[in-house]
């Protein structure tokens, strides 16, 4: 299905601002944030002051209404300088989408202007130790008690945990239901019983915290039930992921481009056999393949984001989002690997940022739905779409023909 990509002036303006911040603030602080596992608050403040957190938020709630495509453009530029900070930026969209897509107008009016202004950071609490790809298998419980819900349990892999002021939390409200089992809640930092426990020691994206969030008799007001209705949590989660996956794809495109740029610059400086290694055909092939795949990932990512902006949630756009996330993150891992190879021995050393690009790339294939899950999503949509291919039936063997042409299982036949 062809998707038209229309870049608004506002989106392109935000992209240019993001590129400037990436060069002047994000990249200079990337090595320190990675080495010390520190959140780059200076960069976050620069992003907030420039209005980049307003990109995906409607004007009615203090945003710029530039859409998911603008979010992707900004995330790409930031990730090009530091993949970890690209995550730190985009996870605010991930955390806010449940409120934006499923919340009541009162909830949006209360929370979205603060998120848009960069005064409030957000996190997304879905995964658990025994419920990752299978989001329907959550174990954290929320029980109604008068004017509150009481939440108990623990969440795993909460990105931005500790930094975030607000958490979109998914919990079981009706264990007996299959389709309406889960509800979503807004939980504020500092709520009694809500604590940040283990801070993960990660391979990559070390500049953004990933933590365990624990809930022990956490009392949340009924008005913090997202959408005001129980049982809508799974729907909100799936809508959120469909909207957020182009942002992950954009992080991957930025990571690919950042690694490619470094490899290209190094290949034109490194001299072996009396010429820059960029003059050797083997290296040229690697650089060409890296560039082609990065550009293909970019166009798929932009098309996916533009489709969501134009049409909103739909089965076709869910498939496109999965395709963009899966393809772009696979490309990011491949390009980072080849970039390390171009750098040779220097690529294996932590003295240079190419090693960080390699370490950061791996998580892109895992979070917000592993790439194996994305392929399942894509395949299921394709199978459903086969109903629209009736015009091809005359070119496909019938069951009778298949049976007739099947090889005989009789050893004497």
Residues with catalytic function: 368
Q: Which helix (H) or strand (E) segment is 199 a member of?
A: strand 194-199
Helix (H) and strand (E) counts for the chain?
Answer: 12, 9
Task: Provide DSSP, 124-189.
Answer: EE--BTTBSS-GGG---EEEEETTEEEEEEEEEEEETTTT-SEEEEEEES-TT-SSS-EEEEEEET
Instruction: Spell out a b/e string for 32-55, using b for 16 or more CB atoms within 10 Å of the CB, else e.
Output: ebbeebebbeebbebbbebbbbbb
Distance CA 335, CA 344 (A): 14
Q: Are 175 and 140 in contact (CB under 8 A)?
A: no
**Helices of type H across 22-161:** 27-36, 41-49, 67-81, 83-102, 105-116
Closest CA to 108 of 50, 63, 138, 145: 63
The encoded tokens of residue 373 equal: 């899950």
Please tell me what DSSP assigns to residue 407.
P
Q: Are 200 and 210 in contact (CB under 8 A)?
A: yes
The encoded tokens of residue 182 equal: 């889960």
Q: Are 254 and 83 in contact (CB under 8 A)?
A: yes
Q: Are 303 and 245 in contact (CB under 8 A)?
A: no
Q: Which helix (H) or strand (E) segment is 263 a member of?
A: helix 233-267
Q: How many CA atoms lie within 13 A of 401 on its CB side?
A: 6
């Amino acid at each position: 299905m062809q998707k038209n990509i229309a870049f608004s002036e506002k989106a392109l303006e935000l992209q240019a601002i993001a590129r400037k911040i990436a060069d002047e603030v994000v990249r200079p602080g990337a090595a320190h944030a990675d080495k010390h596992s520190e959140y780059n608050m200076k960069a976050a403040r620069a992003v907030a002051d420039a209005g980049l957190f307003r990109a995906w938020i409607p004007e009615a709630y203090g945003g710029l209404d530039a859409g998911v495509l603008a979010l992707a453009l900004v995330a790409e530029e930031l990730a090009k300088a530091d993949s970890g900070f690209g995550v730190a930026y985009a996870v605010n969209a991930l955390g806010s989408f449940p409120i934006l897509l499923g919340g009541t107008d009162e909830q949006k009016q209360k929370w979205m202007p603060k998120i848009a202004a960069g005064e409030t950071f957000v996190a997304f609490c879905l995964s658990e130790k025994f419920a990752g790809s299978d989001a329907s298998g959550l174990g954290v419980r929320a029980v109604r008690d008068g004017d509150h819900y009481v939440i108990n349990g623990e969440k795993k892999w909460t990105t931005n945990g500790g930094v975030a002021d607000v958490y979109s939390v998914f919990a079981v409200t009706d264990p007996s239901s299959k389709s309406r089992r889960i509800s979503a809640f807004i939980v504020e930092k500092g709520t009694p019983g809500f604590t940040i426990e283990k801070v993960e020691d990660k391979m990559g994206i070390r500049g953004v915290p990933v933590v365990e969030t624990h809930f022990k008799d956490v009392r949340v007001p009924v008005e913090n039930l997202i959408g005001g209705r129980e049982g809508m949590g799974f729907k909100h989660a799936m809508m959120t992921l469909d909207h957020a996956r182009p942002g992950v794809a954009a992080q991957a495109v930025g990571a690919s481009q950042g690694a490619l740029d470094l490899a290209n610059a190094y290949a034109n400086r490194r001299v072996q056999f009396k010429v820059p290694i960029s003059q050797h055909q083997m290296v040229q092939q690697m650089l060409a393949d890296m560039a082609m795949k990065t550009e293909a990932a970019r166009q798929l990512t932009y098309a996916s984001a533009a489709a969501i902006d134009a049409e909103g949630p739909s089965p076709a756009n869910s498939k496109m989002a999965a395709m963009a996330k899966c393809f772009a993150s696979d490309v990011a891992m491949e390009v980072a690997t080849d970039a390390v190879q171009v750098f040779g021995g220097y690529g294996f050393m932590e003295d240079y940022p190419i090693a960080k690009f390699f370490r950061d790339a791996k998580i892109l294939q895992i979070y917000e739905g592993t790439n194996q899950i994305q392929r399942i999503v894509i395949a299921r949509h394709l199978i459903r779409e086969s109903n629209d291919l009736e015009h091809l039936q005359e070119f496909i063997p019938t069951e009778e023909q298949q049976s007739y042409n099947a090889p005989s299982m009789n050893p004497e036949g």
